[in-house]
Structure formats: structure tokens, C-alpha cells
């Protein structure tokens, strides 16, 4: 299985790729404000690359539960200087974490290779932009919006969360192809923690193998509340070891893309899983 991005095609048949998270926001749930300055952000990005990250995912708007919206202009100010600076120093694949077309366009012009859209590429203008530029896309499932998504999420009418996510992946693949997108450029994210209860998240993690079909699945579980609830840890920064365990188990289920904060721990988990 391959995943085509603007400058590089990843062969995920055997290999596993890690996407390092770089939040250029003051209110991220786990590292808010820490990497909002360009110099510090670049230092952190280069560290993640040295640790093995093949993709750096840069976001300028927090999507944590209850997060306030950010203007596109502010998002661009937060992210584009980092993308430009990182592109000057590295050939690493760069992803922009945004749902706004103007932000995605500015990021692509600055050197981004991937658009990571938590709203699932619902905006046809975003689809046309991504198709025309040849970037890879991450299409995520989210029930509701960040400010309200954790207010009693329910999937009972769809027969449960797993069939609902499978149906979403199928619908999005058909719809995006109909709009002219190369399906080789698409990967899917089940959206752990985005409009899902603790039990919904557990059901998705148990069923990851069933979600991996014709397109690669990106798992973004790093430091999230489901991990904290599993181990009884309220501090997101103390959830990296547990995240690495989930990463290893996900590898056994066939997941080849992992979005994490602690790249070194994820790479070790993947290596051990591959060897054993």
C-alpha cells in the first residue's frame, strides 16, 4: 500500500511511518505554547526528525474539546514561518493541520506536502486545492465540532462506532474520487477522541484491523484522554509510555501511520513490534 504526497510516495506495505506533532498554538491540550516561537519550533522539529519522524505535522489551531476557533490569518502567522524555515533546513515531509482552505494554500505555497483536515475534507474548495497541488491528505472523522464534540456523543443508530467509521471512510473515498482526487493521496484517521466517548474510543482501538482496508489509516492517540483514563493519569505529558504501548498494539493490527508527540518512544515500540 502506498501513500502519495506532493514530493514523496511512502510505501507502507512493509514500512511504518511516524508523524511528529508540532503544535504552534498557545492552548494545545498537551504542549500549549511551548513551540509557538519559530526558533524553538524548528529545534523541536529537527529533534523529531533525528529521532526518526518522516513527517512533521504543524498546527496553528487547537482542536481539543472546547477549543475556541482561530482566524485563518492568525493560523497562517503561527504556522507558515515554521514551514518556510523547516523547508529550508530539511527535506522531511511537512503536514499542515488545518481545515481552512486559505491556511492550507499558504502552507502548500510555503512547502507543505500534506493537508491534515480534522473535518474530513468536507469543503469542496479544499478538495480542489489538494487535488490540484498533488498533496497527500489525511481525512479524519469527527462527530460535531471541537467546542461541542464531547457532549454526549452517540453512535447507536448506526449500529455502533466501528461500522459508523467504516461507512464514513467508504463515503469519503467515493466522494473524493468523484471530485477528482487521486485516491493514492488519501489516508484516513478514525478520530480518536473527536466526538467519541471512552467506550467508543476503546471499541475503535480494538477494531483497528477492521478499519485498515484499501487506504492507510493514521492513528492519532498520543497523550489523549482515553490513554489517561486507561492508566489513571491526568497529566497529558505523562502519557507517552502508555501511548507507546498502544502504538505497538496498533502495529500488530496493521496500522502503518502513527501521529505522536514522543517520536523516540514510538520508533522503539515500532521496532520491537517489527522484530518480534
pLDDT > 60? residue 197: yes
**Active-site residue numbers?**
224, 259
pLDDT: which is higher, 18 or 155: 18
Rg (CA), the chain: 17
> Is the Cβ–Cβ distance between 170 and 186 less than 8 Å?
no
Contacts 24+ apart (CB under 8 A), 38-47: 38/81, 38/82, 38/85, 41/82, 41/86, 42/82, 42/85, 42/86, 42/89, 45/20, 45/82, 45/86, 45/90, 45/92, 46/89, 46/90
List, in sequence order, every residue forming a beta bridge with 94; answer none if it has no partner: 56
Tell me, what's the pLDDT at 39?
A: 86
Rounded Cα gap, residues 129 and 104, in angstroms: 8
Decide: helix, strand or coil at residue 131.
Answer: helix
pLDDT: which is higher, 158 or 78: 78
Q: pLDDT digits over 70-102, tens only?
A: 899 999 999 999 999 999 999 999 999 999 999
> Domain range for residue 138?
2-275
Q: For 96, list phi and psi in degrees, rounded to 5.
A: -105, 125
CATH number, position 127? 3.20.20.20
Domain count, the chain: 1
pTM: 0.91
CA distances to 34, 39, 212 from 5, in Å: 28, 26, 19
Q: Which three cell numbers stand for residue 45?
A: 522539529
* Confidence band, pLDDT 50/70/90 cuts, at residue 138: very high
Q: Which three cell numbers stand for residue 157?
A: 443508530
Least confident of 9-18, 26-35, 122-131, 223-232: 26-35
Q: pLDDT digits over 20-46, tens only?
A: 999 987 754 345 455 557 888 999 999
Rounded Cα gap, residues 55 and 53, in angstroms: 6
Tell me the CA end-to-end span of the chain in Å, nearest whole number: 22
Amino acid at each position: 500500500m502506498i501513500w502519495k504526497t506532493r514530493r514523496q510516495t511512502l510505501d507502507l506495505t512493509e514500512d511504518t511511518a511516524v508523524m511528529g506533532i508540532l503544535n504552534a498554538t498557545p492552548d494545545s491540550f498537551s504542549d500549549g505554547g511551548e513551540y509557538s516561537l519559530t526558533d524553538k519550533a524548528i529545534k523541536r522539529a529537527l529533534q523529531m526528525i533525528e529521532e526518526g519522524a518522516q513527517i512533521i505535522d504543524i498546527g496553528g489551531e487547537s482542536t481539543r474539546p472546547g477549543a475556541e476557533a482561530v482566524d485563518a490569518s492568525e493560523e497562517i502567522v503561527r504556522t507558515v514561518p515554521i514551514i518556510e524555515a523547516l523547508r529550508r533546513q530539511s527535506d522531511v515531509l511537512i503536514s499542515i493541520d488545518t481545515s481552512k482552505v486559505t491556511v492550507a494554500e499558504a502552507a502548500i505555497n510555503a512547502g507543505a506536502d500534506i493537508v491534515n483536515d480534522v473535518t474530513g475534507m468536507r469543503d469542496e474548495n479544499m478538495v480542489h486545492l489538494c487535488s490540484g497541488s498533488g498533496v497527500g491528505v489525511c481525512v479524519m472523522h469527527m462527530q460535531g465540532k471541537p467546542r461541542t464534540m464531547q457532549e454526549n456523543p452517540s453512535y447507536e443508530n448506526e449500529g455502533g462506532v466501528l461500522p459508523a467509521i467504516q461507512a464514513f471512510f467508504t463515503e469519503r473515498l467515493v466522494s473524493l474520487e468523484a471530485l477528482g482526487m487521486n485516491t493514492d493521496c488519501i489516508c484516513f484517521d478514525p478520530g480518536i477522541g473527536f466526538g467519541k466517548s471512552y467506550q467508543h474510543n476503546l471499541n475503535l482501538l480494538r477494531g483497528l484491523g477492521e478499519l485498515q482496508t484499501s487506504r492507510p489509516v493514521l492513528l492519532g492517540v498520543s497523550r489523549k484522554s482515553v490513554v489517561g483514563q486507561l492508566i489513571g493519569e491526568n497529566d497529558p505529558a505523562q502519557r507517552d509510555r502508555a501511548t507507546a504501548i498502544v502504538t505497538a498494539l496498533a502495529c500488530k493490527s496493521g496500522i502503518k501511520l502513527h501521529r505522536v508527540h514522543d517520536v523516540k518512544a514510538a520508533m522503539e515500540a515500532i521496532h520491537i513490534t517489527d522484530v518480534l
